[in-house]
Structures are given as structure tokens and as C-alpha cells.
Amino acid sequence: MAEAHQAVAFQFTVTPDGIDLRLSHEALKQIYLSGLHSWKKKFIRFKNGIITGVYPASPSSWLIVVVGVMSTMYAKIDPSLGIIAKINRTLDTTAQGCGHCMSSQTKNVVSGILFGTGLWVALIVTMRYSLKVLLSYHGWMFAQHGKMSRATKIWMSVVKIFSGRKPMLYSFQTSLPRLPVPAVRDTVNRYLESVKPLMKESDFKRMTVLAEDFAVSLGPKLQWYLKLKSWWATNYVSDWWEAYVYLRGRGPLMVNSNYYAMDLLYVLPTQIQAARAGNAIHAILLYRRRLDREEIKPIFLLGSTVPLCSAQWERMFNTSRIPGEETDTIQHIRDSKHIVVFHEGRYFKVWLYHDGRLLTPREIEQQMQRILDDPSEPQPGEAKLAALTAGERVPWAKCRQAYFGRGKNKQSLDAVEKAAFFVTLDETEQGYRKEDPDASMDSYAKSLLHGRCFDRWFDKSFTFIVFKNGKIGMNAEHSWADAPIVAHLWEYVLAMDSFHLGYAEDGHCKGDPNPNIPYPTRLQWDIPEECQEVIETSLNSANILANDVDFHSFPFHTFGKGLIKKCRTSPDAFVQLALQLAHYQDMGKFCLTYEASMTRLFREGRTETVRSCTAESCNFVLAMVDPTQTVEQRLRLFQIASEKHQHLYRLAMTGSGIDRHLFCLYVVSKYLAVDSPFLKEVLSEPWRLSTSQTPQQQVELFDLERNPEYVSSGGGFGPVADDGYGVSYILVGENLISFHISSKFSSPETDSHRFGKHLKQAMTDIISLFGSSANSRK
């Protein structure tokens, strides 16, 4: 059916003289427009490369410098201290050697231009180096909240002077400092401090002996090699982190690594599945166009002073993870003009451009509706093919090599892996329902996390999911970037869909359908029975993993960060201490806790661990469960624990964390084939409470005072430990916090709903301390 619509574009006839190819006028037009579009993108990349390459200067500043040099020369002033005269003599000698004669005026002009250009380049290098040195200062982060020293204000002013004007997405990349390597002694001391409240005294003494021995014997040797790497590598952590933590993992990506993002919590702008897909896909493509043109603004801290690294944006689109027997690889191509859509076991290739322009939302809706209306059946093995991406990596790698290396299978797999992104038109209805909020949100979360294990392509950089009732969501692969990068895209998509593109009164996308657009093309597969058996095996193992996930996702309405800030405390520290209290009430013990922080203050920085369970947090939790403790005593311990948490978070952000340094030392030890009992034990410790805050980065896109119902649900991830919890949260506006809790049914110790109840109670108990304290002072 769909293939018939494609066939009208060209015809060919086999003759004794060869193949007579006859392209239609429409086909020739599309080829011409496609080439024009491609050249336009190349020109934009070339132009942006020049602008970014000379930042913080601008291309026009070259002319200003050269004109300034020439002006001083004509005024009989030598701004070069004799350098221009030397260039003059060199030009004269060169010209004579070539048998040419150059006039004095020409030599002066050329010499002035060459000197001016050299001066311009030297100024750029000086400004970049100065900015790098300035951005290496992080004292501002450790200042008391709301107070800024005069030195910091002066520093900010100087940074802004050297930062240039109108930066593009990658403008600051070469000006960002490198991630520093902490001292071994500092890392070991911080590690021992972090595990002391979690260990028995005898175990802690044993670990202290191992740590002290490492710090004076093997540690300095490993540190020397790590320092050596930090001098030549852009970032001494990120390449190893990507390779060993992500790409070498042989377990399933689904649940274990991939994460998800949810739609707006309460708003459903249309219940027409194809229409919601049309607007959202168009919004994603608008974001991709802005990304290609580097029009996305860099993310800043401290107002618009301190830029964060933007490197992770580079592989957002046109990217797929490729399975290998020993290690996976990331395949990223420069451009892709199509997406692949999955629906009811069929794969469709959908072109994104027509007549040299991006498809409109209504045209994309039309294409999605054509897929929904297509009555064709899946080919043998096609329906559950994506289960290969949900299961173990080695069977998928072997299967890919054996059955997808040639013919139509290779062509179709290439179409999937080289697509801009993957789309699933889901057959279920999901989203928040007032009549059954808990069950509906839990089902929604599990659907986004794993679906039916064969209806998301877990290897793609992200799979965009549109449910039957119009709800949307996203499942993202983790190796290419961290959650804040995907969240930035998702915020833009939700805002563009809701406030800019909009829908007609009948729920369809605005605009008119276009009957001239070719139909989506069915991908063709020839999957042998042996491959189908591997697919079934992968699906069975994936189903076991998916069915074991116990998920609880809920919005917490009682209060939000607005009230927390009035208590003069950090909202993140507040939630983290509530998690510690909830975990203790749930399990009756403390555990090693992971909170994700970012190191994007440094070039190619990714994440660092904040060890949120501290001696100070344990003291606070014990005081909360001790009825003999007064409100004042509990508040004092809360403030101490909160300040400790904020200090650890700042250390992690500024390159003085614990875990990435120890991880890299462990990698070096493996390269050198030396054994470290200390490092082996440290890296084998399980994170039974793994937490992450989803940041809101583009608050200007959502005016929650005018549109209070347009709040995000955030996103979540699967449990990291078999007997632990994974908790994600987002602080939305001033009055809402959304939580996503995961664990495993197979663990007799965990229960996500039980933990959720303890968390709600912990949040309420902590905030009540401030109310009780205020009442006692009256």
C-alpha cells in the first residue's frame, strides 16, 4: 500500500543498452530541494564554526583591529614596536626571490593586515585564557546564601567583560577550565567520613587500615598516571565514565539504564493521538533546527555569569547505541531527514521535509494518521523485533551481526539507527486520572520506563511516545547525555506545544492537510526463525525484568519549594533529609545514598556523586524518631545536616567529589594490572538509595501564575540495587513536588508505595518543625 505511493516518483526500464531511468518532475524537484537544504545547513555550520572559533571576539572585530593598525601606520606611529618593519623586509626578500617587485605601499598594507591579524588572534587567545582562569574560581559558590562579597562582585564584572556578547551554544567550550584531580589524601578522608555512620566500628577500623595503606602506597602511583591523563585529556573522567559505566555494561538498558520523562500532569490539549504527535514532533524538530544553528542559549549559573558545558547537546539527535559483544559504540551522524514510527508491530519511515521545508504540524499529523489507518499486518518476526534492544546486549550484538548485516534487514535497521529519533504510537491510554491517581500514575511511569518491552527502541538517543488518548512521554538512552539535557528539550517541546503551536477547535493541528506528501514507507524485514527465537528469548528476559519493577509516582501538593525557602533552607537539602528520614522509617537503618550532581562547570563534565547520608543527617533522623528530643534540638540538627549537605553538593560541583576520582584510580589500576583491595571494596558497595533531582531550566517558558495547571510531572528511572530504591523528584513552581519511586517486587525488604507513605509523612514532619518553632516563640 505505502510502497505504491513511493513508486510513482520514478520508473526504470531494463534495455539491451542498460537501465533507462526516468525521474518524474516531482522527484527531480525533491532532489534539487534536498540538495539545496543540505548546502544551506552546511553553510550555517561553517558560519557558526567561525563565530564560535573566534569567541569571545567576533569576526567583525578583526576589521576593527586591522583598521586601527592601518590608521596608526598612516599617522606615522608604529604600534608593532618594529614587527611591521620586519614583516616588510621579509615580504621584500620573498618577492625578490620569486622575481617579483612589490610597491612600498602594497608592502605596508600587507604588513599591516598580517600584523593586525596576528594581534587579533593574540587578543582572542589572551581573552580565552583569562576567562578560563577566572572561571576556575569557585569561591562564590561557598559564600553564605544571599550574601556576596565585594571581591565576588568584582570577579563577576571582570568575567562579564571577558565573556563577550551574544554567545552561541558552544561559544564557551574552549574557555571552560579542565576538571581538577583532587589530592588522594583528601578523597580518602572524605570517603572515610562518608562511610563512618554506615559501618560497625570493627568494619570501619578495617576499612581505615585499607584506606590509609592505599593513600601512602598504591594511591600516589595511580594518581601520577591520572594527573598525566588530566594534562592531555579534555576531561579525565568523562571518556572512561562513558566507556566503562555505560557502553561496556552487558545487562539490559531497559529499566537498568534508560530513564523517562512525563507529559504535563493535568493538561491534555487534545485527545487526538495523531494531532498530539504532529505538534510535538514538529516542536522537537524546531528544537533540532535551533540546535543545528547553535541558537540555543548556553546554561548559566549566578545569573548570566558562569557558563556550563554544552558538549552533551552534540549527540541529542541522529544518534543510536550500537551493540557489540564486548562493548557498545555510539553512532552519531551529522543529519537525518527522517524518523521511524512504530505502531502495532509495524515500522514506518517518515520523511520530515517536503518541497525543501520542514513538514508542518498538520502534515505530520496527516502522516501519523495514515500510519494509524494502515491495515497491513506485521511481517514474521517484525512485531517484537525491538525486544532485542530491551534484553541482554551480547545476544543482540551476535544477532545483529548474523542477520542484519546485508540485504533488506540492513537497509531497514539503518533506517532505524540513522533516524533523527524513534517514535512509538502506543495503543494504550495513560496519564493522571483524578478517580484513581495512584494506579494511573504508576501505570504511566511503567509504560514510559519499559512499555511492553518490544514497542520502544531502547538503543535510540530517545524514543518519543504518543499514547492513544493524546498523552505523550519520552524514554531516553543514558550513555550519550544526562537527564538535564533531555529535560531541556522536553521543556521546550511542552511549552511550544501548549503556548505557541496550539490546536484547532476540533482538536486537530492548525493548518490544512497536504495530499501531495508521499505516504510513509513500511520498512521491510526478512527475519529467519533462528533470529525470531533470539527475539523471544530477549523478550522473555525483558518481561521478567519489567514485571519485577514496583513503581510509585505521585504529586506532593501539601507544600512546595516556596514554603521551604521561607524556612531559609535549601529545597534540595530539605528533600534529601526527608528521604533519609523516610528510608530510616521504612527500613529501620541507614544506607549508602547516591545523589546525582553535575560537573558541567568544567569542560565535558558530566556527573558526580553527593553522598547524602552523612553523620549529620543520621543525627537529625535519630532525633526525629526520639520522642525525648525537643523541636529546637531537632531544628538545630536539621540546620547542621542541611548545611553539610549543601557543602558536599558544592564540593561535588567544583571537582572535589569522592566517587569519580576513586573510579578513575580504579581504572588506572586495571590498566596497570595491579590489585587494590581498598578500591575493589569501595566500588562494590551498593547504592541502596539512589536519588536525583530533575532541574527546571527554562522557567520563563511557563508562566505558572497565569497558568497554574501547566505543571510538569518530571521523570524517573529504575532501581539501581535489587534491594534498594530509586527516587527522582522535581520541584515545580512554588507549590508542587513530584516524586517517582522505584524498587523491585522480588525484594522482600522494599515496597515503593510504603516508602511513598513514609516520604509524605517525613516531608510533613520536617516542615511542621518550623511551624512549631514559630508558635513556641510567640
Long-range contacts of 327-335 (CB under 8 A, 24+ apart): 327/243, 327/247, 327/248, 328/246, 328/247, 328/248, 328/393, 328/397, 328/479, 329/247, 330/242, 330/247, 330/479, 330/480, 331/417, 331/418, 332/480, 333/418, 335/38, 335/41, 335/292
Long-range contacts of 766-774 (CB under 8 A, 24+ apart): 766/574, 766/577, 766/578, 766/581, 766/624, 766/638, 767/558, 767/559, 767/563, 767/564, 767/567, 769/631, 769/634, 769/635, 769/638, 770/567, 770/635, 772/631, 773/631, 773/632, 773/635
Half-sphere exposure for 2 (CA within 13 Å, toward CB) = 24
What string of H, E and C letters represents the secondary structure of 620-632? HHHHHCCCCCCHH
CA angle 614, 620, 622 (to 5 degrees): 100
Q: What span, in angstroms and rounded, lies between the C-alpha atoms of 567 and 770? A: 7
Asked if residues 173 and 309 have their Cβ atoms less than 8 Å apart, the reply is yes
Of the candidates 168, 128, 171, 136, the one whose C-alpha atom is nearest the C-alpha of residue 155 is 136
Asked if residues 726 and 718 have their Cβ atoms less than 8 Å apart, the reply is yes
Give the single-character DSSP code of 481. -
Q: Sign of the CA dihedral 159, 162, 168, 173? A: negative
Helix 631-653 vs helix 752-777: crossing angle, to nearest 10: 120
H/E run at residue 14: strand 10-15
In which region does residue 568 sit, left (phi positive, over 0), alpha (psi from -120 to 50) or beta (all else)?
Answer: left
Asked if residues 584 and 702 have their Cβ atoms less than 8 Å apart, the reply is no
Q: What span, in angstroms and rounded, lies between the C-alpha atoms of 459 and 461? A: 7
Of the candidates 736, 716, 712, the one whose C-alpha atom is nearest the C-alpha of residue 727 is 716
The C-alpha cell of 315 is what? 549527540
What string of H, E and C letters represents the secondary structure of 206-266? HHHHHHHHHHHCHHHHHHHHHHHHHHHCCCCCHHHHHHHHHHCCCCCCCCCCCEEEECECC
758 flagged as catalytic: no
Strands (E), 26-85: none
What's the maximum distance between 2 C-alpha atoms anywhere in the chain? Answer: 103
Whose cell is 522505584? That residue is 742
**Backbone phi, psi, residue 565, to 5°:** -65, -30
Nearby residues of 526 by Cβ (< 8 Å), 6 or more positions away: 379, 407, 408, 409
Q: What span, in angstroms and rounded, lies between the C-alpha atoms of 651 and 474? A: 32
Which residues are 521's β-sheet partners? Answer: 349
Beta pairing, strands 300-301 & 521-522 = unpaired
Which one of 282, 343, 450, 478 is the catalytic residue? Answer: 478
CA of residue 180 relative to chain centroid, distance:
22
What DSSP assignment string belongs to 499-531? III-B-TTSSBSS---TTSPPPEE------HHH
What is the set of active-site residues? 478
